[in-house]
């Protein structure tokens, strides 16, 4: 396994949220406590994704978000041009990729490799344009195909490779195939569902794509469990994603086994300076919890140390 680059602090954005190079620069300039930045998933061609509305936003914090973007992205040529320009001061660049099949994943990995400190392979986006037939719907559910994808990416790049899993799957079987095929770690994980929201005025589905992936606080227990189970089984580096919006959420994911913590939905609706402030509060809270201990000591501790009461019993 290739070691992951040091990401310090171990906080990053989640792909699809604030995930374009000009935003990374603005975040760095505003003193965000992010040690790495993840691009929107880069695919084999420019893609519009679904028409609006593509997001059902929660009215209150604490509610889930639904999105049906269906992987809109600029062309790989435009990504290459943007990423060639990017100059991050102290943080790492993670390029998220997707494809229509193993060959395309391999091609995009090869093209993005020169710019990336780490390649994150998006195996499971639950959203598609209605009527579209796409393997992206099912790759993350199929251990054989996921393993083939990771194998092709492994051949195409010397960068560390993270397989980002879907919670809508037998993820331990998928993860086993990915680790066998040469993944260096796991992303736990993508959005759940998809789910549905109906507008009571029109009586119709709100999203143009009808259904959308669920993220935010409702996703946290699901992906936290995935993190916990994957750490117990593979003991590998894990990026935890899903509903992280406070230092307590971040600590839970770290105790479960995540060595890097991704923030997505919690950034939505915030200005750059508010979002940067949130990252600082989360990191300060994690450090206060650590009380001077190094962060890696906390990673996976839920599996190791008996609780003090249990130790006494
Ligand atoms: C609007 C939106 C767009 C997303 N786009 C991507 C994407 O392009 N690639 C990907 O791997 N995940 C994508 N995701 C999933 C997030 O990266 C993350 O795994 C998920 O939202 C859980 O984290 P959160 O609850 O903090 O948002 C997207 C999520 C949202 C809400």
Domain-embedded: residue 125: yes
Q: Long-range contact list for 115-118, CB < 8 A, 24+ apart?
A: 115/80, 115/83, 115/84, 115/86, 116/83, 116/157, 116/159, 117/5, 117/36, 117/92, 117/93, 117/159, 117/160, 118/4, 118/5, 118/36, 118/92, 118/93, 118/94, 118/159, 118/160, 118/161, 118/162
pLDDT tens string 76-109: 999 999 999 988 888 999 999 999 999 999 999 9
CATH label of the domain that carries residue 258:
3.20.20.70
Domain-embedded: residue 126: yes
Domain-embedded: residue 159: yes
Question: For a pLDDT cut of 70, what percent of the chain falls above it?
Answer: 93
The β-bridge partners of 122 are 164
Residue nearest to atom 29 of ligand 1 (CA): 16
Identify the residues whose C-beta falls under 6 Å from ligand 1. Answer: 14-17, 40-41, 65, 67, 69, 71, 96, 122, 164, 190-191, 215-216, 219, 241-244, 263-266
> For 16-20, 44-48, 89-93, which range has the lowest pLDDT when averaged over its residues?
44-48
Domain-embedded: residue 186: yes
Q: How many domains in the chain? A: 1
Largest CA distance in the chain: 62
pLDDT tens string 221-270: 999 999 999 999 999 999 999 999 999 999 999 999 999 999 999 999 99
Residue 312's pLDDT is what? Answer: 47
Q: How far is the CA of 130 from the centre of ligand 1 (A)?
A: 19
Q: How far apart are CA 239 and CA 280, in angstroms?
A: 19
Residue 26: which of 113, 120, 91 has the closest Cα?
Answer: 91
Domain hosting residue 22, numbered range: 11-49+71-196+214-312
Ligand 1, atom nearest to 243 Cα: 25
Mutate to test the pocket of ligand 1, among 54, 191, 214 (most ligand atoms within 8 A of CB): 191
Average pLDDT over residues 45-58: 82
Domain-embedded: residue 202: no
Domain-embedded: residue 63: no
Mutate to test the pocket of ligand 1, among 12, 17, 64 (most ligand atoms within 8 A of CB): 17
Domain-embedded: residue 58: no
Residue nearest to atom 2 of ligand 1 (CA): 16
> For 1-5, 183-187, 250-254, 287-291, which range has the lowest pLDDT when averaged over its residues?
1-5
Residue recorded with tokens 């994957």:
230
Q: How far is the CA of 14 from the centre of ligand 1 (A)?
A: 6
Q: How far apart are CA 298 and CA 162, in angstroms?
A: 21
Assess contact for 189 and 124: CB atoms under 8 A: yes
- Our answer to whether residue 259 is catalytic in this structure is no
Domain-embedded: residue 205: no
């Amino acid at each position: 396994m290739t070691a992951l680059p040091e990401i310090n602090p171990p906080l990053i954005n989640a792909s699809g949220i604030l995930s374009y190079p000009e935003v990374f620069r603005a975040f760095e300039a505003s003193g965000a406590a992010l040690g790495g930045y993840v691009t929107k998933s880069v695919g084999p061609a420019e893609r519009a994704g679904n028409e609006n509305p593509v997001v059902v936003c929660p009215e209150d914090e604490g509610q889930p978000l639904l999105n049906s973007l269906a992987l809109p992205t600029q062309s790989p040529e435009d990504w290459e041009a943007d990423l060639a320009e990017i100059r991050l001061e102290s943080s790492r660049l993670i390029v998220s990729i997707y494809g229509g099949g193993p060959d395309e994943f391999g091609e995009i990995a090869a093209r993005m490799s020169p710019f990336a400190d780490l390649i994150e392979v998006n195996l499971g986006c639950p959203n598609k344009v209605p009527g579209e037939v796409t393997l992206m719907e099912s790759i993350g559910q199929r251990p054989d195909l996921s393993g083939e994808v990771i194998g092709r990416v492994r051949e195409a790049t010397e960068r560390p490779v993270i397989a980002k899993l879907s919670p809508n799957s037998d993820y331990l079987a998928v993860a086993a195939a990915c680790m066998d095929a040469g993944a260096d770690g796991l992303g736990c994980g993508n959005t759940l569902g998809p789910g549905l929201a109906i507008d009571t005025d029109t009586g119709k589905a709100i999203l143009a794509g009808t259904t959308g992936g669920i993220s935010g606080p409702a996703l946290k227990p699901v992906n936290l469990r995935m993190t916990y189970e994957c750490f117990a089984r593979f003991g590998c580096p894990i990026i935890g994603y899903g509903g992280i919006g406070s230092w307590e959420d971040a600590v839970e994911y770290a105790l479960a086994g995540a060595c890097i913590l991704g923030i997505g939905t919690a950034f939505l609706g915030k200005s750059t300076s508010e979002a940067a402030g949130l990252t600082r509060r989360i990191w300060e809270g994690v450090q206060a919890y650590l009380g001077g201990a190094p962060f890696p000591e906390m990673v996976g501790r839920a599996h190791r140390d008996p609780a003090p009461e249990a130790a006494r019993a």
